[in-house]
Homo-oligomer: A and B are copies of this chain.
Amino acid sequence: MQDKITTLFKAIADPTRREIFHALVIATSALSITQISNQFEISRQGVTKHIKTLEHAGLVHIDSMGRERFCNANAKPLEEVNKWIKFYEQFWDNSLQGLGDYLDTKKA
């Protein structure tokens, strides 16, 4: 399909999915599909689809208990996004920019 980080970026690019993920992160216990659906305007099937996308990106882990499927958030994969971002930090952060300029000057 597409590479891992793209799957991840796409998963969090959708606002509904970010909301669902957030709800799972701050939940005190795992939430079933129906429980999640009750918190959102969209249909249960819509939620299922989003959960599948999040699961595929590694952001959600599911524990099946009987007929219920309890969803847990897993923020770990976001570490990759964080790494991606980190590289560009030096280009927006002025203090780091200054550091870069300093090193350049030193070299010259």
List residues of chain A with CB under 8 Å of any chain B CB.
2-3, 6, 9-10, 12-15, 25, 73-76, 78-79, 81-82, 85, 88-89, 91-92
The closest CB in chain B to the CB of A10 belongs to B13
- The residue in chain B whose Cβ has the minimal distance to the Cβ of A12 is B9
A-B contact pairs, 9 of them (CB 8 A): A6-B13, A9-B9, A25-B88, A73-B91, A78-B85, A78-B88, A79-B92, A82-B85, A82-B89
Taking CB as reference atom, which chain B residue is nearest A76? B92
Q: Interface majority SS on A: helix, strand, loop or mixed?
A: helix
Q: Are B75 and A81 in contact (CB under 8 A)?
A: no
Asked whether, in the complex, the Cβ of B85 is within 8 Å of the Cβ of A85, the reply is yes
Residues of B within 8 Å of A79, CB to CB, are: 92
A92 to B6, CA, bound (A): 20
Cβ of A82 to closest chain B Cβ, rounded Å: 5
Residue with the greatest number of chain B CB neighbours at <10 A, chosen from A81, A88, A89: A88
A15 partner, pick from B6, B12, B15, B88, beta carbons under 8 A: B6
> A2: which of B15, B81, B89, B91 is its contact (CB, 8 Å)?
B15
